[in-house]
Amino acid sequence: MEIRNIAIIAHVDHGKTTLMDGIMKQAGVAKEGFSMDSNALEQERGITIYAKNASIEYKGTKINIVDTPGHADFGSEVERVLRSIDTVLLLVDAQEGPMPQTRFVLKKSLELGMKPIVLINKIDKPASRPKEVLDEILELFIELGATDEQLNFHTIYSIGRQGIAKKHLTDESKDLTPLLEAILELVPAAPSNTKIPLRMQPFNLAYDSYTGRLALGRIYEGKVRVGQNVFIKKPTGETRTGKVTGLYTFLGLDRKEVDEALAGDIVMLAGLPDIFIGETICELEDQKPLPAIAVDEPTIALNFMVNNSPFAGREGKFVTTRQIRERLEKELEVNVGLKIDFTPPAGTGIVGVDTFKVYGRGELHVSILLETMRREGFELQVSQPQVIIKEIAGVKSEPFEEVIADVRSDVSGEVIRKLSQRKGLMTNMREHQGITRLTFEIPTRGLLGFRGEFVIDTRGEGILSARFIGFRPHVGVIEKHEFGSMISMETGDAVGFALWNLQERGTLYIGAGVPVYEGMLIGNTSKGDDLDVNPCKGKVMSNYRSAGKDEAIDLVPPFTLTIERGLEIMHESDFLEITPKSVRLRKQYLKKTDREKSSKKK
């Protein structure tokens, strides 16, 4: 049986997973209500976070399809998958056109010499503009240095939600058959040389409580069978031995146990407990390892620490340094975009608290890890994210990002003002049907903490997306509108009467009855100064009566903290405390006298 290996790549929310679901249903391997986004976090947020492998059979051909994330923070998931497939299906929204992540994933696939199939999706949108979007895609191919052969790409139009694809806009279609036919016609059959020794490279890892660690990868040469003794080679050439105890292929999303698999297929192996992503599984000891899977460098760093607040240990099951370290070591095995320094240099952590420095691709990348850990029962605290500063050719450099903001034309002025204030440089501005698309190049430092303000300024109607474009010379001090903090000076339960008086000073993070402790942040102040307050102070009761004394307490709903919000608004002197049930902001030094001593030292 011939095999085709493809990956679907696109910007976030352009319809990859919906299209995948439609393909699975048409092939008869999925039921109604099925979704490729099976992870709880993916379903809550409506985005793909983890790359997933599925397989269908069509006209006697096996098609392995990999669904990849569309958010730039999870670009490492895409980078490691692209090496294991033969062609990509580039999916673009018929209204939005190419976006930052479209450029990122297309650039990676063109560099690998692939000839993408372009799929313009959501052509049923009232504001869709498929012809203009096709021109924009062609311009993007030219800009990214595509070869003449790559520029001669095949285009298909689709409505993923209805499960319809067509070769031409005027064609009639009832299903995704034109897309499947194009895959058979345009995707080259995977090389299947089984007469030479085995070479296979994992691009993902999974875990099974019965069989242990599982390696998901592509067989490049030869064949593999259950019970086979193999050699595992690192990219550096170090070799160790192992034995295959289980072998699985895919049908839909389900694993299917087999005794043997041939070159060209994407399979899952069991029996190699110390296998890592990017290593090469060989049949002979003297075979050369496959090239290492390279991913882009992280752009932000923050400290992970044991929670040492007064409420530590109340809600979490895993609270010790050893437990947090083991969990982070486990994450490193599958998250190739993450880097962790378990012994950071002296002075970078907090005195008396064990610190792990975690390097990630962005705030969302780190916050997904933190959210996963808290759901598993972990309790910890983290410092404010900081961008990674490098010295390149003797010049102090920092990461820059390309930002695309789609906003209503009447609020574009405010967005331009704020991005410019944060050292952003506008490179393009285009208006279409009352929506203005702004393109900026801005330091990652300037973008940290901006998303919350952007939502408020655009009244929740704006779309902001960004991608890392490289390191550039440091731009100096960036002015931001800094809020002060309301810091609790008492430990107890917050009282409605006290919060009612405090809400005039700024925005509250808590409601009445919430437990607080000394040094915990309960809100921010409109002015830039910190304010020590007592949220536990109740109303003084007396026999004295006067008109208007018993006014009704009217509390404004609090600004509820989430991990992303906390990472955005926290200051350098704060910690974000994360437990299975709560997210709190606190000062590094809980007592006011300690904070004053610390500020004098600086």
Three-state SS across 29-87?
Answer: CCCCCCCCCCCHHHHHHCCCCCCEEEEEEECCEEEEEEECCCCHHHHHHHHHHHCCCCE
For domain 390-473, give the fold: Alpha-Beta Plaits (3.30.70)
Q: Is 518 exposed, middle or buried (0-12, 13-18, 19+ CB in 10 A)?
A: middle
pLDDT at 347: 47
DSSP code for 162: G
In angstroms, the CA 526 to CA 547 distance is 31
Task: Tell me the CA distances in angstroms from 164 to 88, 93, 175, 183, 570, one per residue in order.
Answer: 19, 15, 4, 15, 46
Non-local CB neighbours of 203 within 8 Å, separated by 6+ positions: 80, 81, 83, 84, 216, 217, 218, 277, 278, 293
Beta-carbon neighbour count of residue 290 at 10 Å? Answer: 21
Range 199-282: architecture per CATH: Beta Barrel (2.40)
pLDDT at 481: 63
For the chain, residues with pLDDT lower than 70 are: 30-50, 70-76, 294, 344-353, 481, 540-551, 602
For domain 3-186, give the fold: Rossmann fold (3.40.50)
State pLDDT tens for residues 267-322.
889 888 888 888 899 998 888 888 877 677 788 899 999 998 999 888 889 989 99
In angstroms, the CA 373 to CA 380 distance is 9
Domains in the chain: boundaries: 3-186, 199-282, 390-473, 484-540+550-597
pLDDT at 546: 59
Task: Tell me the CA distances in angstroms from 559 to 197, 401, 506, one per residue in order.
Answer: 60, 28, 11
To the question of pTM greater than 0.75 for the whole model, the response is yes
CATH number of 484-540+550-597: 2.40.50.250
Please state the φ and ψ torsions of residue 476, each to the nearest 5 degrees. Answer: 85, -160
Please state the φ and ψ torsions of residue 328, each to the nearest 5 degrees. Answer: -70, -35
Q: Is the dihedral of CA 213, 244, 62, 88 positive or negative?
A: positive
Asked if 359 and 339 touch (Cβ cutoff 8 Å), the reply is: yes
